[in-house]
Amino acid sequence: MMARTAVELSPRSIEREAAGRRRPLARVSRRAKSPSPDSGVRRLGIADLGSNTARLIVFSYEPGRWYRITDGIREPIRLGEGLSRGQTLAPAALKRAAAAIELFVDYARTSGLDGLEILGTSAIRDAVNRDELLERIDRLGQRIRVVSGEEEAALGVAAVANGFRYEDAWVIDLGGGSAQVSRMRERRYDHGTAHPLGALRLSERFLRSDPPKRSEIRALESTVEEELGELIARLDGSLPVVAIGGTVRNLARMSQKAVGYPLQVLHGYRLSREALEDVTAQLLAVKLKKRRRIPGINSDRADIITAGALVFRWLMRRSGLRHLVISGHGVREGAFYRHFLPAPYVLPDVRGFSIENRAARHPLPPGHAEHVRFLADRLFDGLAPLHQLTARNRELLDAAATLHDIGTTLDYYRHHKHGSYLLTISPLNGFCHRELALIALLVRYHRRGNPRLGEYGSLTEPGDRRRLRQLSACLRIAESLERARASRIKDLRVTIKRKRVRITVQAAEQPMIEIWEASKHANLFRRAFDRKLDIEADVSVRRL
Amino acid sequence: MMARTAVELSPRSIEREAAGRRRPLARVSRRAKSPSPDSGVRRLGIADLGSNTARLIVFSYEPGRWYRITDGIREPIRLGEGLSRGQTLAPAALKRAAAAIELFVDYARTSGLDGLEILGTSAIRDAVNRDELLERIDRLGQRIRVVSGEEEAALGVAAVANGFRYEDAWVIDLGGGSAQVSRMRERRYDHGTAHPLGALRLSERFLRSDPPKRSEIRALESTVEEELGELIARLDGSLPVVAIGGTVRNLARMSQKAVGYPLQVLHGYRLSREALEDVTAQLLAVKLKKRRRIPGINSDRADIITAGALVFRWLMRRSGLRHLVISGHGVREGAFYRHFLPAPYVLPDVRGFSIENRAARHPLPPGHAEHVRFLADRLFDGLAPLHQLTARNRELLDAAATLHDIGTTLDYYRHHKHGSYLLTISPLNGFCHRELALIALLVRYHRRGNPRLGEYGSLTEPGDRRRLRQLSACLRIAESLERARASRIKDLRVTIKRKRVRITVQAAEQPMIEIWEASKHANLFRRAFDRKLDIEADVSVRRL
């Protein structure tokens, strides 16, 4: 079966386009409020004018070093309204879109953004009267970049390449007007297709009753089948399927709220087939007024979300996929990386960057976290014969060591709990949620307490309790050996015996407080490694 | 009835002592790690060697500007062990104390503190062989300042004067060895008495059975009666009674845990008579092993806390006081203010300083919070005929406006919730817990949502729901009118009519995004003030 209206996307044209496009930002006037140019901090607004929503995100960043989102404006514009019946943007929709752009431009100019890039997607590219809108925007002194389906797909892939650790994946970006299905190969856009399967478009075309009738659902599904039927055999679970867009974010949030998910993080969430069946059934069971009130759903999306849910449900049912991986990042983030990074716009180390980016957000006196990380690694390596954990676990330990004290920026008292909180409210890109929970727990237990999986138990795997205990023991002893935060202990050796483990620390002088503090954790060590702990100092190291 | 062993404390001798004491810090070697002298940031350790615990707190600060606690070491030393039977420090106790000091000195030297001040209290001042300990400490190159009962009382009062908004109060500091009862008048130490009623001392002397027998309790209580009987008539509820010390902090924490208290803050907690009766009964009902496991109790204090609870219970029963106000700050903080502030070591504005100190902790681009505060105040004043709220409420609005965006330092998304979290984990000195909850709620609802008291309902008063709604409306509209964070709206006027309120904003140009954003909150405004909201711009203001 051929995809009826799919647009085939080829990689070459993308590269050509990218090469010719060097920061096509509209100039906006600088205001005294903006950071001085030599501070190196830039503030860039990236907006997209979708079929359902216009949304602006402000990125503050130093190129290549760190970034964070510092503002955002979201306006439901329903630009694609009526597009399922013809190819013309409705006058009211056009007016709403122009008003949103005017707001964005006003905001950008007044707040002193260094640049404002506005992307136009499916609704605009499909409309025969799109020039009417573009001219109105031109009159505001702003340009809008109408991206092809191919470029939109590639921007989604860029977001995934920089937001996950995957080398290869399928990426499905379902918007209000269209859905892009792309193949990422070695972290680059390889090929893809664009389909007229956006939530607003399908909703208008098929779901005229509230709640939808069975016949309407069947008609929708048979269109999805026509469009995506060919793809199904390739979604065989051998590669992750990453889902992008407001629709799937809402579905994921609904599912998280329904089960009391223990992390406040969407990015990286695995939406299982069962969970998707549940939320879709819930959406189909009620009328719009009740749908608006379902926790996790934006009320201005409640009328069209069912159509999007039906697309994903069909996909899961037909392919036998076990779960979708939700991306919190999409075309806007994909576009941002073209400003943040040099070509080819791919972070060399997603996990490493994500940890450093988080550490930059919570600045601490230098040296301590790095040294704790060094000592924790030395313990991990020295104890390898006992724990036999893979290098992947060492990465968790490294992340926790680097971030263990970020909670002190909130309050010194209970800073282990604050640090743990910080890790459960935002993603660490490249780590799955199970890993994120383990890192949060390592931070939680870096000073005291008996390490337990607790509320994160539902995210973990067999063996994680032991893993947590062993990594906690490494981190806590490393932290203790850095008690005076002055790198007094230069190195350490681990000697494993049948019933005991000896840690010999090297220093230029007797490290009194470090050994006193580390010795307190002999009990945790025994529970973790089933050995008694001896700590001794080798003070033969000469002071330089 | 005369206080049998109370030491009368007079204010004059304190002043004399204070005048002769100018930063008597031991010199500790500087290390490369300490902040460079010209950064202006100092790190000072203040420790006290109490009868039960030795505890070091590290303050990082710029004199007069901001401070925060950045490290701490706590070691149970039981220095006062056996002192109830004689006047001699036991050899083992002496050894533990010396070891703790050695740790503190090692830490201070290695971590590069700018100074270390160690205070010795009741156990040391009462012991005939105290010179043995002082000589051992001398050999470490460290001095210890043995404070008189009077000075200890005055340090407690200094902590209260700078930690609360009270002008006058009673201050009761119950430690391991002694209890000081002081009268604060106009934020200064006025007079006080020291009594041999510390928790360790009473426990050793009276509570030999586990759990204690009725006869033991009666004997303890009759000693308390002899010591404090005279005081009772003066604790008539006309002045707040502020309680200091590890014992009462543990009792308060126990009570908070028992009821699922909605704030993670001890300082400023009101421990009611009923709550104290409950926790005391709980302590009396079980043996030591179970007491150690009661949530909120430090396990190394579980053996003596009952005695302390009995002192406070007696005080509440006999005086008819409704509640104690718990201070999280004590002699260490009192001593710190002598370094942080110029004489007479009293913050001119406790609330204002506390808000600024918190804002300094979460640095944000300048200007925005100040302008939101300005606009919120203008709204509050303009709407006064409708809300008729006192100036005290304006202070809540000011605090919330100054701190409304601190959550963005955690993450932009849901920053209203993160900001609210930040306000519920540490005290804002000078605000009671009800006020703290209201400020947290104002931050919580500064962007969206229908303001509700929710989990803080138990802390609030009749009328607070309406108050929250009205103040939220002021803050949210002010925030919206500062949407571009560029102070574009210079001022505003409020015109109240029978069914409508008009806000006229003044700007040099049409403030498009501000009015668009503010208009979204007309519903909240109507619920708060029972008027429809019109917002209009007066752009006759000339740009300078």
Q: Average pLDDT for residues B350-354, to the nearest whole number?
A: 98
Residues 461..480 of B with a Cβ closer than 8 Å to A: which? Answer: none
Say yes or no: A140 contacts chain B, CB-CB below 8 A: no
Q: Contacts of residue B365 in chain A, CB cutoff 8 Å?
A: 33, 35
Radius of gyration of chain B (CA): 26
Q: DSSP 3-state helix, strand, coil percentages of chain B (rounded to 5)? A: 50, 15, 35
Q: Average pLDDT for residues B401-408, to the nearest whole number?
A: 98
Task: Give the amino acid at B107.
Answer: Y
Q: Average pLDDT for residues B390-417, to the nearest whole number?
A: 98
Say yes or no: B426 contacts chain A, CB-CB below 8 A: yes
pLDDT, tens only, B139-164 = 999 999 999 999 999 999 999 999 99
Continuous H helices in B446-493: 464-480
Q: Contacts of residue A70 in chain B, CB cutoff 8 Å?
A: 408, 412
pLDDT value at residue B465: 97
* Structural contact between residues B185 and B171, judged by C-beta atoms closer than 8 angstroms: no
Q: Which residue, among B345, B15, B325, has the nearest Cα to B150 in the 3D structure?
A: B15
Checking A439-443 for CB contacts under 8 A at 24+ apart, the result is A439/A396, A439/A399, A439/A400, A439/A403, A441/A468, A441/A472, A442/A396, A442/A397, A442/A400, A442/A404, A442/A468, A442/A471, A442/A472, A442/A475, A443/A400, A443/A403, A443/A404, A443/A406, A443/A407, A443/A416, A443/A419
Say yes or no: B74 contacts chain A, CB-CB below 8 A: no
Angle at A40 between CA A37 and CA A46, to 5 degrees: 90
pLDDT, tens only, B424-451 = 999 999 999 999 999 999 999 999 999 9
Model confidence band, residue A123 (pLDDT cutoffs 50, 70, 90): confident
Q: Average pLDDT for residues B46-65, to the nearest whole number?
A: 96
Asked whether the beta carbons of residue B484 and residue A110 sit closer than 8 angstroms, the reply is yes
Can you say how many angstroms the Cα of residue A341 is from the centroid of all Cα atoms in its chain?
Answer: 17
Q: Average pLDDT for residues B90-116, to the nearest whole number?
A: 96
Q: Contacts of residue B485 in chain A, CB cutoff 8 Å?
A: 33, 71, 111
Say yes or no: B458 contacts chain A, CB-CB below 8 A: no
Asked whether the beta carbons of residue A31 and residue B425 sit closer than 8 angstroms, the reply is no
Q: Contacts of residue B410 in chain A, CB cutoff 8 Å?
A: 422, 425-426
Which token pair is A464?
């994680």
Q: Average pLDDT for residues A134-155, to the nearest whole number?
A: 94
Continuous H helices in B260-390: 273-285, 288-291, 305-319, 331-340, 350-361, 368-382, 384-387
* Structural contact between residues A468 and A441, judged by C-beta atoms closer than 8 angstroms: yes
Say yes or no: A106 contacts chain B, CB-CB below 8 A: yes
Q: How far is the alpha carbon of A258 from chain B, nearest alpha carbon, in Å?
A: 19
Which token pair is B241?
């009674």
Q: What is the distance between the alpha carbons of residues B55 and B119, in angstroms, rounded to a whole number?
A: 10
* Structural contact between residues A160 and A171, judged by C-beta atoms closer than 8 angstroms: yes
Judge whether residue B400 has pLDDT over 70: yes
Asked whether the beta carbons of residue A421 and residue B421 sit closer than 8 angstroms, the reply is yes
Say yes or no: B371 contacts chain A, CB-CB below 8 A: no
Q: Average pLDDT for residues B401-425, to the nearest whole number?
A: 98
Strand A270-272 to strand A115-120: parallel, antiparallel, or no bridges (unpaired)? unpaired
* Structural contact between residues B354 and B430, judged by C-beta atoms closer than 8 angstroms: yes
Residues of chain A with pLDDT > 90, as a percent, come to 89
pLDDT, tens only, B170-181 = 999 999 999 999
**A185 bridge partner residues:** A188
ipTM score assigned to the predicted complex: 0.92
Q: How far is the alpha carbon of B59 from chain A, nearest alpha carbon, in Å?
A: 11
pLDDT value at residue A29: 36
Judge whether residue A20 has pLDDT over 60: no
Judge whether residue A418 has pLDDT over 90: yes
* Structural contact between residues A69 and B413, judged by C-beta atoms closer than 8 angstroms: yes
Q: Contacts of residue B71 in chain A, CB cutoff 8 Å?
A: 412, 485
Residues of chain A with pLDDT > 70, as a percent, come to 92
Q: Is B70 helix (H, G, I), strand (E, B) or coil?
A: strand
Which token pair is A325?
């991986």
Q: Average pLDDT for residues B289-313, to the nearest whole number?
A: 96
Asked whether the beta carbons of residue A408 and residue B70 sit closer than 8 angstroms, the reply is yes
pLDDT value at residue B542: 60
Burial of B540 (0-12, 13-18, 19+ CB in 10 A): exposed
Q: Tell me B392's DSSP state.
A: H
Q: How far is the alpha carbon of B20 from chain A, nearest alpha carbon, in Å?
A: 33
pLDDT value at residue B84: 76
pLDDT value at residue B33: 39
Asked whether the beta carbons of residue B426 and residue A411 sit closer than 8 angstroms, the reply is yes
Q: Which residue, among B308, B288, B309, has the nearest Cα to B299 in the 3D structure?
A: B288
Q: Average pLDDT for residues A335-344, to the nearest whole number?
A: 97
Burial of B137 (0-12, 13-18, 19+ CB in 10 A): buried
Residues 252..281 of A with a Cβ closer than 8 Å to B: which? Answer: 264
Asked whether the beta carbons of residue A111 and residue B31 sit closer than 8 angstroms, the reply is no
Which residue of B lies nearest to A483 if distances are taken between CA atoms?
B107
pLDDT value at residue B271: 98
Judge whether residue B6 has pLDDT over 70: no
Q: Which residue, among B183, B296, B294, B302, has the nearest Cα to B249 in the 3D structure?
A: B296
Model confidence band, residue A7 (pLDDT cutoffs 50, 70, 90): low
Q: Which residues contact A39 (CB under 8 A, 6 or more apart)?
A: none
Judge whether residue A173 has pLDDT over 70: yes
Which token pair is B509?
């140009």
Which token pair is B220?
């303890």
Which token pair is A315?
């996909």
Where on the phi/psi map is residue B429: left (φ > 0), alpha (ψ -120 to 50), or beta?
Answer: beta
Say yes or no: A539 contacts chain B, CB-CB below 8 A: no
Judge whether residue B20 has pLDDT over 90: no
**What value does the mean pLDDT of chain A take?**
92
Asked whether the beta carbons of residue B418 and residue A425 sit closer than 8 angstroms, the reply is yes
Q: What is the distance between the alpha carbons of residues B32 and B45, in angstroms, rounded to a whole number?
A: 18
Asked whether the beta carbons of residue A426 and residue B413 sit closer than 8 angstroms, the reply is yes
Continuous H helices in B341-383: 350-361, 368-382
Alpha-carbon separation of residue B413 from A72, A467, B256, B419 (angstroms): 9, 32, 31, 11
Residues 378..397 of A with a Cβ closer than 8 Å to B: which? Answer: none
Q: What is the distance between the alpha carbons of residues B184 and B167, in angstroms, rounded to a whole number?
A: 8
Asked whether the beta carbons of residue A412 and residue B72 sit closer than 8 angstroms, the reply is yes
Residues 85..104 of A with a Cβ closer than 8 Å to B: which? Answer: 102-103
**DSSP states of A326-339:** EPS--HHHHHHHHH
Q: How far is the alpha carbon of B237 from chain A, nearest alpha carbon, in Å?
A: 32
Q: Which residue, among B409, B399, B402, B400, has the nearest Cα to B362 in the 3D structure?
A: B409
pLDDT, tens only, A449-489 = 999 999 999 999 999 999 999 999 999 999 999 999 999 99
Asked whether the beta carbons of residue A106 and residue B512 sit closer than 8 angstroms, the reply is yes
Question: Torsion angle, CA of A200/A202/A205/A208, rounded to 10 degrees?
Answer: -80
Q: Average pLDDT for residues B19-46, to the nearest whole number?
A: 53
Model confidence band, residue B82 (pLDDT cutoffs 50, 70, 90): confident
Q: What is the distance between the alpha carbons of residues A221 and B107, in angstroms, rounded to a whole number?
A: 69
pLDDT value at residue A458: 95
Burial of A514 (0-12, 13-18, 19+ CB in 10 A): buried
Question: Shortest CB distance from A412 goes to which of B68, B412, B414?
Answer: B68
Judge whether residue A542 has pLDDT over 90: no
**A182 bridge partner residues:** A171, A192
How many residues are recorded in chain B? 544
Say yes or no: B293 contacts chain A, CB-CB below 8 A: no
Judge whether residue B8 has pLDDT over 70: no
